[in-house]
Amino acid sequence: MKAGIIGTGHYVPEQVVTNHDLEKIVDTSDEWIRTRTGIEERRIAPDDVDTSDMAYHAAVQAIDEANLTAEDIDMILVATVTPDMGFPSVACQLQARLGARQIAAMDISAACSGFIYGVVTAKQFIEANVHQNILVVGVEKLSKITDWSDRNTSVLFGDGAGAAIVGSVSEERGILAHELGADGSGIPHLHQTEEDFIYMNGREVFKFAVRQMGDSSLNVVKKAGLTKDDVDYLIPHQANIRIMEAARENLDIPVEKMSKSVHKYGNTSAASIPIALSEDVKAGKIKDNDVTVLVGFGGGLTWGAIALRWGK
């Protein structure tokens, strides 16, 4: 039994907030944000659209793309650090709203690495033949924990959702290798404050991210018994174009083979990798048999990477 991704979906709110819009709120400039991060605009959800709403839209699309119905889903995993409420989980909200059976449903908290954690968790249940079709969602409404008066963080983040169905695929396809890790000693550098806002020491996180994205992506390629030359496509966590470029250069991958949506969505944390995956699959950028590397890092500090061969 081999696990792979058999359907993808994504949803982003309609409202676009540009760098120029932010110039009116904090002491920043379009030029600073573009050159330091690669971000040009981001999507922000309105008050009446919460995390579970975005998750629902992405999930419906992924279930449909996998040619399944909600009844076929036998586990729901939602990666988020911005649930609608402390409990119940977004996964339980989704179970009810999708009309799924009374299956296992839970949230995963691993910040920007959460979707990778979710897919790797799903893989274990599929390959143990315990479950057949697992819905994994990465979703964030970061705008509700963003301090809009803090220029160090408010220019970086956006809202959105991405989803994937993890199911069984043929022996030649699917997830070839993975790596997950965490280092809680990094908590002072990136965490939620008592006022519920994001605090980030950008320089420390930057250094960690460059090292970890490079190491983890190479590690999964090696674990899969492959070399850099075998990699057809790279989807790095869309946090900052300079961090993404470092990961790309580490794998010697040409620019056109790296996913890039940071300019239009900013950093959507757990949603960034599944949004990119869903968009790129629909745009035909990832083709059957392509060796694809997904790699992310985030608060925890956490990290994760997956090497997979695309297709069923």
Residues from 1 through 40 that contact ligand ACO (CB under 6 A):
28, 32-33, 36-37
Burial of 301 (0-12, 13-18, 19+ CB in 10 A): buried
Catalytic one of 189, 237, 240, 250 = 237
Q: Residue 207 CB, nearest distance to ligand ACO (Å)?
A: 9
Task: Tally the C-alpha atoms within 13 A of residue 96's C-alpha that lie toward its C-beta.
Answer: 7
Q: Residue 99 CB, nearest distance to ligand ACO (Å)?
A: 31
Catalytic one of 10, 19, 57, 112 = 112
Q: Residue 22 CB, nearest distance to ligand ACO (Å)?
A: 8
Closer residue to ligand ACO, CB minimum distance, 203 or 284: 203
Task: Look at residues 179, 135, 167 and name the one whose alpha carbon lies nearest to residue 307.
Answer: 179
Q: Residue 167 CB, nearest distance to ligand ACO (Å)?
A: 28
Task: Look at residues 244, 285, 245 and name the one whose alpha carbon lies nearest to residue 267.
Answer: 244
112 catalytic residue (yes or no): yes
Burial of 114 (0-12, 13-18, 19+ CB in 10 A): buried
Q: Contact between 161 and ligand ACO (CB under 6 A)?
A: no
92 catalytic residue (yes or no): no
Task: Tally the C-alpha atoms within 13 A of residue 246's C-alpha that lie toward its C-beta.
Answer: 19
Angle (CA) 23 17 30, round 5°: 35
Catalytic residue set: 112, 237, 267
Summarize as ranges the residues that interact with ligand ACO (CB under 6 A).
Answer: 28, 32-33, 36-37, 111-112, 151-152, 155, 190, 198, 200, 202-203, 205-206, 209, 239-240, 267, 269, 298-299
